[in-house]
Structure 1
Amino acid sequence: MRATPTAVPSLGRWGLSAHADLVFRALTLDGPSTSGWLARHLDVAAARIDRALDELAACGAAAPGGTGPQRLWTAGPPAEVIDRLRRRREPILVAEQARRHLGTVTDLRLERLLPGAVRRLPSRSLVRDRIAELAGRERHEHLAINTEDVITADAKAVADPLDRALIARGVRMRSVGLPARDGSVAPAPPGAEFRIAQSLPIKLMIFDRRVALIPADPLELSAGAVEIADPEAVAQLVGLYDRVWSAAESYRREVPTIELNTRERAVVTMLAAGATEEAAAVRLGLSRRTVVTTLRVLMDRLGVENRFQLALILGAAHAIPLPPAGTPAANRTEEES
């Protein structure tokens, strides 16, 4: 049964996207819903609905119940959501991000660059493939500006193996980002350099100071990217990056010591290595229920909501080694918790 309509404040002035604001309104007015129902009801692509739900979850405006694609999403009380957003940051206009992006692109004067020095990558999948290709060729330096203040588990799973491969080859990695809304995701892998800025002009990657990638649309990353290989334009972007880097603050995270008992350490170490709950139970001489209960008690103690967050906080505290990205354990997220 759907909820009785009520006044719903706009979340746009607090930095949330138009789709996140739309989904929040639908959840508030219509009651708990699945992502599929929202996509059909709002006539919005499922991928955009999923990104909007990630955005709402990251700032505490909505929360999922249950697991899998049929889990119900529930909006938080509007007054509490606005109060939480007000405490976290001052109001901003989403349009400001587009304005900064446009200003930077205009300065590049792309229409005057060398023939073949600019090309469009029209989809997110093509952009990811091209990033992997360019990163695979890098030998000296990787520069990045990330304008998202929420890093999803999916995005991290894609980036981690590339980042680790670069660091293993001795490539210097420098990245500038915004303060994270949830604080739950490490900004960079060990060996990379990371700084924080309160505002950023453009999302950007520069590969060995020879090729640069910028979004085609700063407010819709699924629209793909623009690749720039013109030496003068890339040099201009490197200069911009150096100015942003110099003005940003060095990142420091205080990592608390986490003490695990013998059973907890054994269970999480096996799961981090890719073992299933059943395999861990057999190997340790425990029941599957005991393994699940051990994890649940540990998550409650550390104040995390899923195994992805648990792995991050234990790895950051060096309580267990982080598993290589792409292993079954690294890919398990809240849908299993």
Structure 2
Amino acid sequence: MAQGELAHLGVTDDEELAYRAVLRSPGAGVEALALTVGMDCADLREVLDRLEKYGMVTGADDRGFEATDPFLVMERLVEGRLTALQEELQQVISSRRLVNVLLDDQREGRRQSLPDGVERVEGADRVRARIDELAFFVHHEVASVQPNGPLTPAAIEAAKEADLRALRRGTAMRTIVRTDALADGQTAGYLTELAAQGAQVRTLDGPLERMLIFDRRTALVPIDPQETSRGALIVHQPGMISSLVTLFERFWSTARGLDHERLTNFEQQVLQTMVRAEKDDAGARDLGISVRTYRGHIAQLLRRLGATTRAQGVLAARDRGWL
């Protein structure tokens, strides 16, 4: 074991050196240990005092020092470090709550300065910064429509990190793209990766309106749909938000999932039978398969849906447009 490997547990190099010296020379006094570690007796005495406080050694000058069993020492050190990390995490969480409070104040100020509930943001960098801010503090869901076909590499790079971070936090994400966007390898790969992390991605033909909706409270639309580089309008007004949510849901209800999200014909039959049949033996008989096989197909469907019960599975299947 190299010197300094206990540093991440809060033990200094001198403390580790002294503890290991006591392990190798049980019963040795300060003078003997000082010769071993190459430290001044007074300095070593201070180190040993700290080790006694940590419970890593016991003893006194007149009878020498004994090292506490390494297993107990490591258990105490790890427990102490975990406690410290938990306290640090609580401080981080508290800081984030404070940021939310400050952002609420900022948003309230914006709303008061914008009687119509619409904020105008010009310039690609400023728009990206506002999107990052809204995405970072979203609590429930991000809904988006990308109407212009394949995404550019720059757009994918700008959005990918924030999207994956939101999904890791458990944020729901629903995205609609034009069907022809999947013909582009980079776009298809990006959307497939999002779907693998829990996002719901659907495709739709025909005209679409670009929008980003955060928690059904704030939305972002382009100033000029034909020239998105001009900037964006950030909408806070409840009536306008409601209209945008309704439009998004209309798009979503007619859009189709990615190929790997869609069911085979037989899987669709199993799902519909599960909803209709009151008993498994009746459902299996309708499909011409054994009850065991029927239940196996249902279990596989529930896993794909991330559901633990059939009732949850039905709701999740409806959300995905499978029913």
Q: Same fold (TM over 0.5)?
A: no
TM-score, with length taken from structure 1: 0.40
Q: Choose between structure 1 and 2 for higher RCO, CA contacts under 8 A separated by at least 6 residues.
A: 1
Whose radius of gyration is greater, 1 or 2? 2
Higher helix share: 2
